[in-house]
């Protein structure tokens, strides 16, 4: 059996969006093979047994793809490891006796729902504003009619792997969402299917992004450093370029 | 009640075409007055919601996640099948139809499966048009790979993230309609009750998971696209939130449940590592294209796998099934792994694992071919490994990284350890050809229905079915019902049926909250999962199933006496959400055992130990069990069996063989 | 004018304006530095004074100077606006911070570095530019030239230190600003990206170094 480790937690507790939050201290016995969220399961089980309220946190697939899990761990979204979501972060990345602070994503555009859980519906509204290709079911031509250079398809795919978790916003000192928006704009503007509406798309998405209260990018690169899918910063330069050319063409 | 599957007349290849040209339509001005509720926003839900909204219907979509983009379809890895025959390797609609029926061990409905194969090609076209970045060849055409149970390459994919890309495509279509005002989206909402008026489904009660409030929603039709119920096993590859609640409420409101015992145990998952384990992670079936499965020939062999010489390894799938080898269907691969581990040949700390080894193909298939491309003659092993690794990384990089992240072992260096885990449920709400349940106006799409996969689903078919149902089936079949509903005016949610349904749901929630016992919801879920896994899992027998039924009844009674739900009703309370779901699993689990007990045969994922061939293969009982079990809920967890006979007119039934 | 309103209304428009004005200021720095480097001829400021006179008398350059000022003002006010507004996007701050684990400190400190530079510029302009443009204090030749003014100012050790601090702020501001400017304009090229990055680093270190060396060498009397 693997060895056990004692973890001290400072966890942000906040009843709801309007309430004032503060930190609560807990101690949990963990195992190095546990995921960070399984450690929270153990904590919650412990709290319930003691008649206390468990910590609310978002999670679902627990395999790094749904983008639901969040948590700022010791100041870093999804914890200390690169390219990993909180659900895939394992306790072996910490030491016995460590004190770990856990906070929710913080941004005006992501209000706290409860404890570590936040509302990220702003991202849906940005996609709704333009993050799509306007094609109705049944309109499509045969899939191999339009050939796409492999490199272009691969690059579009790389951008499309964004899981919409919001770590970029939470890491950015300006709470900017440009890595998220850039990823979608890049994917769709690279593909021939997305070209016809690429100008109106980028303008609509950026307008919505601004309206949601995200900040402006100052190119610090923190978003990329914390992105669990390692979406490259080049998507932001693509976003800027697409936006500039759309604006100069009068959109 | 007699089940009417409403299969259209005509030859199998004309049924769908003729149906489409003759089904009643709803004219555009009437569509604007018809409201449709879609519960669940995975592949089936998102594609149905957007397609129906495009047609002009008013759609309300619900999901329990914080965004429709997070539905669990997103986690599908390997790919999606389509009978495109782009590889010129002999594929056709008929062959996809045939493979799917055979893969399902002759327990699915011919007409539905043929329709699925027919529309499969349009799905790929639709997805590409939406901007789904499928993998491509250097010439710019789409790339394919092969999956289990087939001998052609018909699987389209986007690295190991095909489900993600397809779902984001469908989600973008849904969000587009949200932006256009044709869909109203309700995230963090859970359906907790069906509202029936005059026997027809006319709405739902949904709980706002943030405020805890119950809301009434009217709809001329209700579509359940709520996925499968694999989480009844507690440990599964499903997401933590995946649940049966919506389907179960529908079931209790009169929808029959089809083949509940048909569950798919996926052969290649990362083994359990400890008692705190909350879920299991799949390693895509596509890995079996290049990974060879083996165990040591000696029992309890604790040597480092890399040091075990070739002649001391048992490549048991290649040995037992030379024709399909490592690419046998999932049910067969899973049982074979269990057989080896039960016989004492398992590996790893728990001895409940087998090796999935890439070394051979990495070096000799990819390394060698890269070396000859580069003109290196007689490359040494290091060169082969280096060159092969690059190719393997491109094909499966994200899966390898995920494996390493979870187990702390590098699969490029040492073989993966894998073991079967619950993955998918072929069973689900019984539906007719129109995808309508036995409750008029209520439909079930995707994994939530029972229709297309029989007793075992082939790899890369779930994505196909979800999207087929949503994009290309429901937009036609719903017309046959709604064309008769155009005179039904929207019903006020003050109607007594809404009031009664809401009260029923509210009372149930208060009752759960008031128990205030000593045990957590999670502990009940874990215990139920263990009963299900041990007695209604990969191998089942009469005695075990009977015991399981009693144990589940007891556990359920205990739950209602002893569960402890913290917090309160009118707030964000994930424990309360979970309690409602576990309460439903505690009933479903019993029905699954009842069904498994009734099905006196082995077929696909349902393996009754009493029914096997001499060499341990599943033995069907076609004379007595060639039917769909459609269970009707009576009072208090009593069920009545209805049978839909399966008629195979186009496929010759035989004992399934992959040898 | 509507065509360019996005430069003042949208988040990306604002950064594009920062980038365009910033990169023109970078271009100006190169000119400014080349002219000032004439003092290193060590000819009692002869070459330097000639170059300064040329800059002061050429109408093309005088026109560009207006553009430069407009650019400087836009860059400053836009920068201050962004600093203030971005700071408002997270009302509830984090309690633990990642330090430099995910970004460079100076990339996060452009507002402070820029403000320091602005204060420095006020001082710097009042020392030289205001005096030479708007007063009769200096002449192009003789013993009261711009060069003499330089040696006079840099007799003060305090001012020398202030100038050196200004140059250090400039170096860090450029270290982030140079490549950030290209990123904001959407410039992205697999072969040119590393060139821009490396050139940016060299530029950001070299130009402020040359500038900083001037007060020092004059204070030490190595250049007369």
Is residue B37 within 8 A of residue B444, CB to CB? The reply is: no
Same domain for A88 and A183, yes or no, is no
HSE toward the beta carbon, residue B99, CA cutoff 13 A? 27
Residue-wise pLDDT tens digits, C101-134: 999 999 999 999 999 999 999 999 999 999 988 8
User: Is A109 in CB contact (< 8 Å) with chain C?
Assistant: yes
Last-in-domain residue among A113, A145, A165: A113
Q: What DSSP letter does each residue of B467-530 carry, written as one string?
A: HIIIIIIHHHHHHHHHTTTTT-PPPPTTSHHHHHHHHHHHHHHHHHHHH--SB-HHHHHHHHHH
Same domain for A80 and A17, yes or no, is yes
State whether B187 and A37 contact (CB < 8 Å): no
Same domain for A131 and A244, yes or no, is yes
pLDDT tens by residue, chain C, 224 residues: 788 999 999 999 999 999 999 999 999 999 999 999 999 999 999 999 999 999 988 999 999 999 999 999 999 999 999 999 999 999 999 999 999 999 999 999 999 999 999 999 999 999 999 998 888 888 888 888 999 999 999 999 999 999 999 999 999 999 999 999 999 999 999 899 999 999 999 999 999 999 999 999 999 999 88
Q: CATH number, domain at A50?
A: 3.10.20.30
| Per-residue model confidence (pLDDT) at position B1 | 65
User: Which residues in chain B land under pLDDT 70?
Assistant: 1
| Per-residue model confidence (pLDDT) at position A1 | 45
User: Which residues in chain A land under pLDDT 50?
Assistant: 1
In chain A, which residues have their Cβ closer than 8 Å to the Cβ of C13? 243, 247
| Residue C137: both structure tokens together | 């204090």
| Per-residue model confidence (pLDDT) at position B658 | 84
Last-in-domain residue among A86, A113, A140: A113
Nearest to B306, CA basis, from B419, B382, B413, B381: B413
Task: Tell me the domain boundaries of chain B.
Answer: 266-422, 494-619
Structural domains counted in chain A: 2
What is the distance in angstroms between the Cα of A36 and the nearest Cα belonging to chain B?
11
Same domain for A91 and A125, yes or no, is no
Q: What is the ipTM of this complex?
A: 0.97
Q: What is the 3-state secondary structure (H, E, C) of B549-573?
A: HHHHHHHHHHHHHHECCCCCCCCCC
The yes or no reply on domain B494-619 and CATH 1.20.58.100 is: yes
> What's the domain range around A196?
121-248
In chain B, which residues have their Cβ closer than 8 Å to the Cβ of A137? 47, 50-51, 54, 126, 173, 471-472, 475
User: Is A180 in CB contact (< 8 Å) with chain C?
Assistant: no
Name the residue in chain A with its Cα closest to that of C93: A106
Last-in-domain residue among A113, A134, A150: A113
A-B interface: how many C-beta pairs under 8 angstroms? Answer: 221
Catalytic (active-site) positions of B: 330
SS3 A57: coil
User: Is C186 in CB contact (< 8 Å) with chain A?
Assistant: yes
Give residues 102 to 161 of C whose Cβ lies within 8 Å of A. 102-104, 107-108, 110
User: Is A13 in CB contact (< 8 Å) with chain C?
Assistant: no
SS3 A58: coil
Residue-wise pLDDT tens digits, B232-275: 999 999 999 999 999 999 999 999 999 999 999 999 999 998 88
Same domain for A167 and A244, yes or no, is yes
The residues, ordered by sequence, that sit 6+ positions from B267 with a Cβ below 8 Å of its Cβ are B285, B288, B293, B330, B333, B334, B336, B337, B418, B420
Whether A and B touch, i.e. at least 3 CB pairs below 8 A, reads as: yes
| Per-residue model confidence (pLDDT) at position A2 | 57
Q: What is the dihedral of CA B393, B398, B399, B402, to 10 degrees?
A: 120
Residue-wise pLDDT tens digits, A111-165: 999 999 999 999 999 999 999 999 999 999 999 999 999 999 999 999 999 999 9
Q: Which helix (H) or strand (E) holds B115?
A: helix B110-129
Same domain for A125 and A235, yes or no, is yes
What is the distance in angstroms between the Cα of C170 and the nearest Cα belonging to chain A?
17
Same domain for A178 and A209, yes or no, is yes
Pairing of strands B292-296, B428-429: unpaired
CA–CA separation, A247 vs C3, rounded Å? 7
Q: Which helix (H) or strand (E) holds B592?
A: helix B574-598
Same domain for A56 and A138, yes or no, is no
| Residue B389: both structure tokens together | 């690794």
Beta strands in B100-248 (DSSP E): 144-145, 155-156, 183-186, 189-197, 200-208, 214-218, 221-224
Q: 3.40.640.10, 3.40.50.150, 3.90.700.10, 1.10.10.60: which CATH number matches B266-422? A: 3.90.700.10
In chain B, which residues have their Cβ closer than 8 Å to the Cβ of A119? 66
Nearest to B455, CA basis, from B378, B345, B540: B540
């Amino acid at each position: 059996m693997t060895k056990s480790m004692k973890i001290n937690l400072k966890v942000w507790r906040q009843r709801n969006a309007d309430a004032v939050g503060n930190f609560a201290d807990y101690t949990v016995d963990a195992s190095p093979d546990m995921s960070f969220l399984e450690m929270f399961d153990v904590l919650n089980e412990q709290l319930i047994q003691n008649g206390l309220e468990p910590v609310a946190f978002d999670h679902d697939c627990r395999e790094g793809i749904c983008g639901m899990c969040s948590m700022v761990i010791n100041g870093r979204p999804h914890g200390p490891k690169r390219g990993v979501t909180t659900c895939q972060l394992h306790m072996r990345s910490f030491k016995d006796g460590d004190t770990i602070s856990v906070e929710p994503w913080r941004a005006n555009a992501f209000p706290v729902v409860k404890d570590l859980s936040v509302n990220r519906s702003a991202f849906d509204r940005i996609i709704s504003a333009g993050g799509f290709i306007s094609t109705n079911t049944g309109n499509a031509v045969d899939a191999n009619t339009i050939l796409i250079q492999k490199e272009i398809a691969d690059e579009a795919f790389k951008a499309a792997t964004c899981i919409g978790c919001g770590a970029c916003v939470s890491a950015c000192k300006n709470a900017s969402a440009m890595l998220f928006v850039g990823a979608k704009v890049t994917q769709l503007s690279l593909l021939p299917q997305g070209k016809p509406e690429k100008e109106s798309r980028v303008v609509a998405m950026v307008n919505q992004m601004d309206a949601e209260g995200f900040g402006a990018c100052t190119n610090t690169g923190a978003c990329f450093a914390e992105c669990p899918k390692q979406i490259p910063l080049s998507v932001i330069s693509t976003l800027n370029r697409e936006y500039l050319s759309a604006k100069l063409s009068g959109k | 009640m007699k089940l009417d599957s409403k299969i259209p007349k005509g030859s199998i290849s004309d049924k769908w075409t003729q149906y489409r040209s003759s089904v009643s339509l709803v004219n555009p001005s009437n569509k604007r007055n018809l409201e449709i509720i879609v519960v669940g926003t995975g592949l089936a839900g998102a594609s149905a919601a957007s397609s129906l909204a495009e047609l002009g219907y008013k759609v309300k979509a619900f999901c329990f996640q914080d965004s429709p983009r997070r539905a669990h379809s997103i986690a599908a890895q390997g790919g999606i099948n389509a009978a495109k025959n782009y590889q010129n390797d002999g594929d056709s609609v008929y062959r996809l139809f045939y493979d799917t029926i055979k893969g399902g061990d002759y327990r699915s409905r011919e007409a539905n499966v043929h329709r699925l194969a027919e529309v499969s090609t349009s799905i790929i076209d639709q997805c590409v048009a939406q901007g789904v970045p499928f993998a491509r060849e250097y010439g710019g055409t789409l790339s394919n790979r092969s999956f289990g149970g087939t001998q052609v390459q018909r699987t389209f994919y986007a690295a190991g993230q095909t489900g993600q890309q397809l779902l984001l495509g469908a989600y973008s279509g849904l969000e587009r309609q949200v932006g256009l005002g044709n869909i109203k989206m309700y995230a963090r909402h859970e359906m907790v009750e069906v509202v029936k008026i005059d026997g027809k489904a006319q709405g739902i009660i949904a709980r706002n998971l943030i405020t805890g409030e119950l809301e009434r929603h009217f709809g001329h039709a209700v579509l359940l696209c709520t996925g499968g119920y694999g989480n009844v096993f507690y440990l599964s590859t499903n997401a933590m939130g995946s649940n049966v609640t919506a389907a179960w409420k529908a079931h209790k409101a009169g929808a029959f449940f089809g083949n509940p015992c048909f569950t798919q145990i996926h052969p290649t998952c990362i083994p359990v590592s400890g008692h705190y384990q909350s879920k299991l992670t799949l390693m895509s079936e596509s890995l079996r294209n290049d990974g060879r499965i083996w165990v040591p020939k000696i029992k309890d062999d604790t040597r480092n796998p890399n040091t075990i010489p070739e002649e001391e390894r048992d490549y048991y799938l290649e040995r037992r099934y030379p024709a399909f080898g490592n690419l046998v269907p999932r049910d067969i691969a899973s049982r074979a792994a269990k057989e080896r581990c039960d016989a004492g040949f398992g590996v790893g700390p728990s001895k409940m694992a087998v090796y999935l080894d890439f070394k051979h193909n990495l070096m000799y298939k990819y390394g060698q071919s890269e070396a000859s491309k580069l003109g290196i003659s007689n490359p040494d092993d290091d060169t082969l490994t280096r060159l092969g690794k690059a190719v393997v990384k491109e094909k499966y990089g994200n899966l390898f990284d995920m494996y390493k992240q979870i187990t702390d072992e590098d699969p490029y260096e040492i073989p993966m350890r894998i073991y079967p885990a619950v993955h998918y449920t072929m069973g689900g709400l019984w539906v007719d050809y129109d995808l309508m349940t036995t409750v008029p106006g209520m439909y079930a799409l995707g994994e939530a229905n029972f229709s297309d996969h029989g007793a075992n689903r082939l790899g890369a078919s779930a994505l196909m079915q979800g999207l087929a149902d949503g994009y290309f089936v429901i937009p036609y079949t719903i017309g046959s019902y709604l064309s008769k509903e155009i005179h039904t005016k929207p019903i006020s949610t003050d109607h007594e049926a809404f009031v009664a349904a809401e009260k029923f749901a509210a009372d149930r929630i208060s009752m759960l909250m008031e128990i205030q016992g000593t045990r957590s919801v999670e502990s009940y879920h874990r215990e139920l999962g263990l009963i299900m896994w041990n007695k209604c899992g990969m191998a089942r027998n009469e005695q075990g199933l009977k015991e399981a039924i009693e144990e589940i009844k007891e556990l359920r009674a205990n739950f209602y006496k002893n569960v402890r739900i913290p917090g309160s009703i009118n707030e964000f309370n994930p424990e309360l959400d979970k309690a409602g779901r576990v309460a439903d699993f505690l009933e479903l689990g019993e029905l699954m055992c009842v069904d498994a007990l009734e099905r006196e045969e082995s077929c696909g994922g349902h393996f009754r130990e009493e029914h096997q061939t001499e060499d341990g293969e599943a033995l069907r009982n076609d004379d007595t069990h060639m039917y769909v079990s459609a269970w009707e809920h009576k009072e208090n967890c009593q069920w009545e069996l209805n049978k839909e006979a399966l008629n195979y007119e186009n496929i010759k039934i035989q004992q399934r063989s992959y040898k | 004018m509507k065509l360019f309103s996005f430069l003042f209304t949208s988040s990306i428009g604002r950064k594009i304006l920062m980038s365009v004005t910033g990169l023109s200021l970078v271009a100006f720095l190169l000119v400014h530095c080349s002219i000032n480097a004439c003092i290193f001829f060590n000819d009692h400021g002869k070459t330097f004074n000639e170059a300064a006179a040329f800059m002061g008398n050429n109408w093309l350059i005088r026109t560009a100077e207006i553009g430069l000022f407009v650019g400087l003002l836009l860059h400053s006010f836009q920068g201050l606006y962004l600093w203030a507004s971005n700071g408002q996007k997270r009302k509830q701050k984090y309690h633990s911070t990642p330090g430099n684990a995910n970004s460079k400190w100076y990339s996060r400190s452009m507002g402070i570095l820029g403000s320091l530079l602005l204060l420095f510029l006020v001082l710097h302009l009042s020392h030289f530019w205001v005096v030479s443009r708007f007063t009769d204090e200096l002449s192009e030749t003789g013993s009261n030239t711009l060069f003499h003014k330089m040696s006079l100012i840099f007799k003060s050790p305090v001012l020398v230190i202030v100038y050196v601090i200004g140059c250090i702020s400039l170096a860090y501001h450029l270290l982030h600003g140079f490549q950030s400017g290209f990123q904001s304009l959407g410039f992205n090229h697999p072969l040119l990206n590393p060139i821009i990055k490396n050139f940016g680093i060299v530029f950001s270190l070299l130009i402020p170094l040359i500038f900083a060396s001037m007060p020092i060498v004059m204070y030490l009397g190595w250049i007369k």
